[in-house]
Structures are given as C-alpha cells and as structure tokens.
Amino acid sequence: MEPQPAWEAAKENIQPLRRGRNIASLTEALQNPEILEEKKREFEEDLRAYDGEDPLHVWDSYLTWLEEHYPSGLHGLHLPQLLENCISTFIPDRKYDNDPRYVRVWLKFAGLQPYPEEVYKCMSARGVGVRSSAFYIEWAEYHELSGESRRAQEILEKGIAMLAEPHDQLKTALKQLILRIAQGSTRNFEAESEDAPQDSRNALSKLRPTGSIEAPNVRVGSNRLALQPGAVQGLASKSGLKNSKMAIYIDENASSGLFSGMGSLAGSSSTAHSIASNKENTKRAEKMARQKIPQRLAASEGPTFDVVQDAESESRNQNKSSTTIVGVLSTRKDSSTHMSLSNVLEGPNINEKRMYDFLKVYGGTCEFQFEEIRFAKYKRKMAASGDATHTTHT
C-alpha cells in the first residue's frame, strides 16, 4: 500500500482557495510547522526593511504565502487588519492604484466586510482599481447576488466605459449577465422561490468564468452561471414552481455570508463575517476619538425609586428598550464599515500626527520595536555589502 500523503490525514482542516492549493507548500505547512514561524518572522522583517523599487511585492508574496501555509484559515492572524495595513501603506502611492495585486488586496478586504459596497464605492471614489476589470466584475457580482441585476449591469457598463483591462473579460461578463437577466435566472427578490436550488450541487449547469485560467469545478453559489438545462436542474425548477406559493424564510445572515464568501479567500464565509462585524471590538481604541455615538436615552432613565407597576407603563418601558436596541444596531453597522474605512484613509485624528512610522511598528501580524526594524534593515544591508565585498575579492 502506498504511504498516505500528509494532506490526506488533515483534509477536513484545509480550506479551499479560489485558485487552488499548491501541494508542495501545503505539505510543507503540514509537516514542518516550526519552519513556518521562522519564515513568517523573515517576511515580517522584509515588510519593514525592504527599500527597493516595489514594496508591494513583499506584501503580495507575504499574503500569498500566508494563505498557502495556513491551510486551516487565517483566524488567529487578524487578516482584515493585515489587509487594512497593506491598503494604508500604499494609499499615498498613486502608482499602485491600478496594480492588479493592490486591487486584489482591496477586493479581499471588501470581501471580508459585511457591507462590501462601502469599500467598492470608496475604491471607485479614490480611483483604486478603476482600470481593472476584476474590480467591476466583483462589484457587479455583489449586486447580482443581492438581486440588483440592473445595478450590476450598470457597473459593468461603467467599467467598459472606463476602458478597464482586460477588456474582453468585462465584455464577456456583461454579455453573460444580460443573458442571465433575459432568462430571468439571476437571483431576484421577486423570485425568491429559486433560492432553494441556489446552493445545491448541480451536475450539468454552466460555470462562471473567473479571472484565473482554471475554472472552478464546484458548481454552487456564485460559481454557477445559470440554471441551464440539465437533469438535476430541471427537477429543481419544477419543484420551485410548485412551491412558488409558499413563503420561504430568507435568513439575512445567510445572505450576507454569501457576499463575504465570494470575495473572501481562505476564511470561511461565516468567520469572515464575524471577524468583520466584531471589528469594533478589536480595533485600536483611539479611533473612537472622532466618532459620535448616539446617546442611549433610555439606558440612564431608570427610576431611582419604586414605581407602582401597571400594564400600561410596562408596555411603555418595553417600547423604550426596543428603540434603544434599534439604535445600538444602527451604530454598529456604521462603525464596522465606515470606521474601518476612516482608519484606512486617515490618521488617528486630523489634529494629531504620529512622529514615528506607525505602519512599520504595527504593519504585519505582530508588532515590532524601532530597534527590531532597524536591525532588520541592518542585517539586509550587511548581507548585501557582504555579497559585494565577496564579489570584489574574487
């Protein structure tokens, strides 16, 4: 009997990647976890010490490496924070605005947000990715999945008008979208009954083309292009028709999980969602300084003495408490998206300026001291000059 490969034993802990997994790095990650720490430290040093022409390259290879070498997902690594740091690092550098790698980082970040549209709008406003087809396709996909096919179409058309590259990809995407609208097969709020077969595995349905050369082989969710002919599909649509009179409960959380699933890389949709929505609990505290939090009127209004209770007053109290809750929820929505974007775009406070390189200290997945940053640079300089003297001697 052949020996079992390492990944075979761990496969339920390996999260799929959109572009597939590299078997060599997967085996490496599973067999030598101690090497990983060393390599990670090297990457962290590179992030801070690199002073060549293309600093984004370091970030890009680090993010790719992290995905490949942490097969069970990047839960402990504060991925949204890392992506955000990457975004902030290159925001002043306009030359990266339409670099496909940078756009990918933004799109990954958007995918981890509960309300990715905020991020897409921000990208569009800043001009990040406006010449990249991938941006429009992902944005349109988000709207299509939310049931706004017209809006999706508008976005693709906008991309074509902006001459985004590669042009063909965008044109194909638009053509296919129009086809789907014509067939009425896009997910619509009016046609919720089609939701049932949405996540089931269809044998013969068409696949959506992705940016990469390899098409996905899983025929579910956003990968599936349309409810095209096929034995399984025919059955599903029939049952859909039968059930069309029945109201189907749509779980809001489940649908938002879908959004994050499409853009997220390794994190499962549910964790990605929870990371993003818990962001307010992990973000640095000083960011609160400029935020206005609505006063909770009802919370402090409790009477200090005993009140004779009657049915009417009880119902009034309940009303109050329910409004409080509504207020809290709307604040949370605000802070999880808008706050994080303001983190990205501005400093801690307009009237304050940090007189040290904040992103070098906190840039990666762990913090560095000034001396560590300096020594990382020193090591690289020594290595470079060592090579130079070596070559001059020989």
Nearer to other proteins by C-beta: 246 or 285? 285
Nearer to other proteins by C-beta: 203 or 355? 355
Min. distance of Cβ 288 from other proteins in angstroms? 11
- Give the Å distances, CA to CA, from 228 to 150, 184, 244: 21, 11, 19
The DSSP output letter for 22 is -
Cα 313 off chain centre by: 46
CA distance linking residue 294 with residue 29, whole number of Å: 47
Burial of 205 (C-beta count, 10 Å sphere; 0-12/13-18/19+):
buried
Nearer to other proteins by C-beta: 295 or 369? 369
Terminal-residue alpha carbon distance, the chain: 53
DSSP of 199-212 = TSPPSS--B---SS
Min. distance of Cβ 388 from other proteins in angstroms? 17
Min. distance of Cβ 82 from other proteins in angstroms? 16
Min. distance of Cβ 54 from other proteins in angstroms? 16
Binding residues for other proteins, rule: CB under 8 A, are: 51, 284-286, 351-357, 360-361, 366-367, 369-375, 377-378
Q: Mapping DSSP to helix (H, G, I), strand (E, B) and coil, where does residue 215 land? A: coil
Min. distance of Cβ 359 from other proteins in angstroms? 10
Min. distance of Cβ 370 from other proteins in angstroms? 5
CA distance linking residue 114 with residue 117, whole number of Å: 9
* CB-based contacts of 86, cutoff 8 Å, min separation 6: 59, 63, 105
